[in-house]
Structure 1
């Protein structure tokens, strides 16, 4: 029977890879030559990819908007005994950086890092998974979420969430 032959031992894949490498080199050489001669208008424009939707600055959910309202933004220089770097992006904090300190776990992140996390409808700390909203504020958060979603208008006030009936139904 024997073992299957690896692609490095076959002539055709090697020949194809070398041909593609040479063609790529020729393309870059011609492109550089045309640009240096001022003939760049004759070249095809590079492909411009549209921006990724998760990079947009608009939040994707109502809960993300409400959580952003509840979590304050402060300057890093105003914090006492802060960590050295952000646990999401691993960059060090600068004194002028805007950060969010989570109320339950007290972890600190760059504002943009934790906002991107919230845009993916995450409601917990990216480091320890503690909920963003403190337990004592959860009822108020739920009421605001229901009001923003229009559920209270549709069902009426008798279906609003309460500690005994968290779903409101």
Structure 2
């Protein structure tokens, strides 16, 4: 394929190129001089180890995970079982695939109304998941994160 006939490069006068190169060289020289005198306005960039970054990331994730858990309602399955039909009473948790017992603590999701064992959904959230394990709908509405 190639370039069409007649296509040429942009012509930049040599004087302009030499002037730009000289200004760049002068800028670097001044920065080195100020740095040697410790008068430079630039700040040293802090370097972090991968372990420190991982700990920081997990701190943020655990905070948001705890917030999600706090916002999701925690109820007993027996309170929900009265609303279910006979067919629906045989449902299982989509995370562990175990049936619900009347004494199980469950979390009901706000957006899609799916229910899960509390421990199952908490582990799901602790693994940085923010969507329903069954339908992938967000666990919380986006406005919930920013409410005061």
Q: Normalising by the residue count of structure 2, what TM-score does the alignment of the two structures yield? A: 0.52
Q: May I ask how many residue pairs the two structures share in their alignment?
A: 83
1:46-65 counterparts in 2 under 5 A?
61-65=62-66
Q: Which has the higher contact order (CA 8 A, sep 6+)?
A: 2
Q: How much does 1:111 deviate?
A: 0.4
Pair 1:71-2:72 in alignment: yes
Cα deviation code 1:90-149 (max 9, x no counterpart): 111100000011010111100000000000111100111000112xxx2341356xxxxx
Pair 1:139-2:140 in alignment: no
For structure 1, list consecutive stretches of 5 or more residues without a partner in the other structure. Answer: 1-58, 145-169
* Corresponding position of 1:107: 114
Pair 1:91-2:98 in alignment: yes
Taking the aligned partners of 1:60 and 1:96, their CA distance within structure 2 comes to: 30
Taking the aligned partners of 1:125 and 1:88, their CA distance within structure 2 comes to: 10
Q: How much does 1:61 deviate?
A: 1.4
Q: How much does 1:71 deviate?
A: 0.1
RMSD: 1.9
Taking the aligned partners of 2:128 and 2:96, their CA distance within structure 1 comes to: 19
For structure 2, list consecutive stretches of 5 or more residues without a partner in the other structure. Answer: 1-59
Q: Normalising by the residue count of structure 1, what TM-score does the alignment of the two structures yield? A: 0.45
